[in-house]
């Protein structure tokens, strides 16, 4: 595997995560050459130069088009707001670059479909930033399912809640604009859907509801501005394997910080997981004496790869940025032509179609087919 020359567009929350991953992947895994951090793009030359110094990039530009067209770049990380993903990803793919784009693919399904077409035409790797699937705990749950330890999964419940939009007096910003998408569904629900896709496969049909907890918010410069997106969504689901499901997401849930609560109910047991306790899995199996049955906590440790690449001792725990480093290593595997545990555009489009069906269902008040199912879970691996 040769050293990849990396370009990064955007240096906000996820941009920094990508930069940390590119900086850390070689020393953590020890089996790949250190990527060359070639160029960084931001909204202005001044900001780009400052961030390039902070994050270790060689060159800086205030024009992202200069970055994607640079012949010295092999792979482009796209970490800008959602609405910018299509133009940037398509331009990078058409310029012959591999793409690592943050979720969701796009605000509109039609744009996501264009991104997929560009990826197919380019022959390059096009992956999405679903780092929660990289958690060793998720890989453990997949093995538990594959081994039949809880039997056939017949019901799934998943919730994602945070409170960064819980205060009705917080200023209106771009996540409340219709141009950012539906709201909690595409900003949020794509994460639990990525877990379901990896563990169980696709969703066959949905019946959804979306809600606005607050009609308006204070506007910059005074007055109030109407909220255009939906911060809460609840969806009934029929999974591709026939299981029933419930998805509930809320960006205005006071007290919840990074919660993805997943429960998988099977014919012989249950698996439960909470992202706020991301190094633990709860497992119940219907075996042994009834008087001593109960959930047991499995704590992540070196026996759950690739935890061992970070820490040699159990109980110390991985974090969000560590999952991004694992995702970066999987991306490098895929670029090298190896099997990789990723959600590429080919699978990401099914998540986008599922979200689109959920929003359509909410607006029309009926069950909607998703056109997003697959014959097997985790097909991008």
Same domain, 36 and 118: yes
Contact predicate 208/256, CB 8 Å: no
SS3 362: helix
Concatenating the DSSP letter of every residue in 149-199 gives TT-SEEEEEEEEE--TT--TTSPP-GGGSGGG-SBHIIIIIHHHHHHHHHH
Does 337 fall in a domain? yes
Question: What is the pLDDT averaged over residues 97-104?
Answer: 97
Assigned domain for 375 exists: no
Of residues 378 and 22, more confidence is placed in 22
User: 170-184, 203-217, 263-277: which range is least confident on average?
Assistant: 170-184
Whether residues 22 and 159 share a domain: the answer is: no
Instruction: State which residues form the domain around 29.
Output: 5-124
Q: What is the mean pLDDT of residues 281-295?
A: 95
| pLDDT number for residue 204 | 96
Give the mean pLDDT of 283-303. 96
The reported pLDDT for the residue numbered 381 is 38
User: Which residue is listed with tokens 């306790």?
Assistant: 277
Domain of residue 196, CATH code? 3.30.360.10
CA 362, 368, 374, 376 dihedral sign is positive
Burial 120-138 (b: 16+ CB within 10 A, else e): eebebbbbbbbbbbbbbbb
The total number of structural domains in the chain stands at 2
| 214: helix, strand or coil | coil
- List the one residue out of 179, 195, 193 whose CA is nearest residue 370: 193
Residues 314-369 pLDDT 10s: 999 999 999 999 999 999 999 999 999 999 999 999 999 999 999 999 999 999 99
In this predicted structure, what is the pLDDT of residue 379?
A: 44
Same domain membership, residue 321 and residue 211: yes
Of the pLDDT bands very low, low, confident and very high (cuts 50, 70, 90), residue 372 is low
Share of the chain above pLDDT 70, in %: 97
- Reply yes or no on whether the pLDDT at 375 is more than 50: no
Nearest CA-CA partner of 278 in 313, 320, 341, 250: 320
Q: 320-335 and 13-29 are packed helices; what angle lies between their axes, rounded to 10 degrees? A: 70
CB atoms within 10 A of CB 295: 14
Give the pLDDT of residue 17: 98
Are residues 97 and 198 located together in one domain of the fold?
no
CA 257 to chain centre: 16
User: So what's the pLDDT on residue 148?
Assistant: 97
What is the number of alpha carbons within 13 Å of residue 285 lying toward its C-beta? Answer: 12
pLDDT tens, position by position, 163-203: 999 999 999 999 999 988 899 998 889 999 999 999 999 99
Q: Let me know whether 200 and 105 are in one domain.
A: no
The whole-number average pLDDT for the span 4-18 is 97
Residues 184, 317, single domain; the answer is yes
Residue 43, domain member (yes or no)? yes
Share the mean pLDDT of the chain.
95
pLDDT at 343: 97
CA–CA dist 372, 379 (Å, integer): 13
List Cα–Cα distances, 173 to 106, 107, 163, 210, 261, in angstroms.
Answer: 18, 16, 15, 19, 27
Question: What is the pLDDT, as a whole number, of residue 373?
Answer: 52
Going by pLDDT thresholds of 50, 70 and 90, the confidence category of residue 374 is low
The confidence score (pLDDT) of residue 377 equals: 53
**Residue 362, Cα to own-chain centre: how many angstroms?**
23
- 196/306 same-domain check: yes
CA–CA dist 319, 341 (Å, integer): 18
| CA neighbor of 351 nearest in space, from 341, 362, 339, 359 | 359
Q: Over 280-303, what HEC string results?
A: EEEEEECCCCHHHCCCEEEECCCC
Residues 109 and 43 in one domain: yes
Report pLDDT for 112: 97
CA separation for the pair 280, 227 (Å, rounded): 37
pLDDT score recorded for residue 371 = 80
Distance CA 17, CA 21 (A): 6
Q: Which of 106, 124, 142 is the last residue of a domain?
A: 124
pLDDT at residue 188, rounded to an integer: 87
């Amino acid at each position: 595997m040769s050293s990849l020359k990396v370009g990064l567009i955007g240096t906000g929350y996820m941009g920094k995560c990508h930069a940390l991953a590119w900086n850390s992947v070689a020393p953590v895994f020890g089996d790949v050459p250190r990527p060359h951090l070639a160029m960084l793009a931001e909204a202005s030359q001044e900001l780009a130069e400052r961030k390039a110094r902070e994050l270790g990039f060689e060159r800086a530009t205030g024009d992202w088009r200069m970055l994607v067209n640079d012949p010295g770049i092999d792979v482009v990380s796209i970490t800008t707001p959602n609405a910018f993903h299509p133009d940037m990803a398509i331009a990078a793919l058409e310029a012959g670059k591999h793409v690592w784009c943050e979720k969701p693919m796009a605000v509109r399904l039609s744009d996501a479909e264009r991104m997929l077409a560009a990826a197919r035409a380019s022959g390059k790797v096009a992956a999405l930033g679903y780092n929660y699937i990289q958690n060793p705990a998720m890989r453990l749950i997949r093995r538990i399912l594959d081994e039949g330890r809880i039997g056939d999964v017949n019901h799934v419940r998943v919730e994602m809640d945070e409170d960064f939009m819980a205060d009705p007096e917080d200023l209106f910003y771009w996540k409340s604009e219709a141009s950012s998408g539906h709201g909690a569904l595409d900003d949020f629900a794509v994460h639990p859907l990525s877990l379901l896709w990896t563990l169980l496969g696709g969703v066959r049909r949905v019946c959804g509801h979306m809600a606005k907890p607050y009609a308006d918010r204070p506007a910059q410069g005074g007055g109030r501005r109407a909220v255009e997106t939906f911060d809460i969504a609840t969806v009934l689901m029929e999974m591709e394997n026939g299981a029933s499901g419930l998805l509930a997401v809320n960006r205005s849930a006071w007290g919840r910080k990074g919660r993805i609560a997943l429960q998988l109910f099977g014919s012989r047991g249950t698996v439960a997981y909470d992202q706020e306790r991301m190094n633990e899995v709860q497992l119940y199996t219907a075996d042994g004496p009834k008087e001593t049955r109960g959930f047991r906590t499995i704590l992540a440790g070196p026996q759950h790869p690739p935890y061992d690449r970070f820490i040699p001792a159990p109980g110390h725990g991985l974090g969000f940025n560590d999952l991004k480093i694992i995702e970066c290593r999987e991306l490098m595997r895929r670029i090298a032509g190896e099997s990789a545990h990723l959600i590429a555009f080919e699978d990401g489009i099914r998540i986008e179609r599922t979200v689109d069906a959920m929003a359509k269902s909410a607006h029309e008040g009926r069950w909607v087919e998703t056109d997003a199912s697959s014959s097997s879970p985790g097909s991008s691996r």
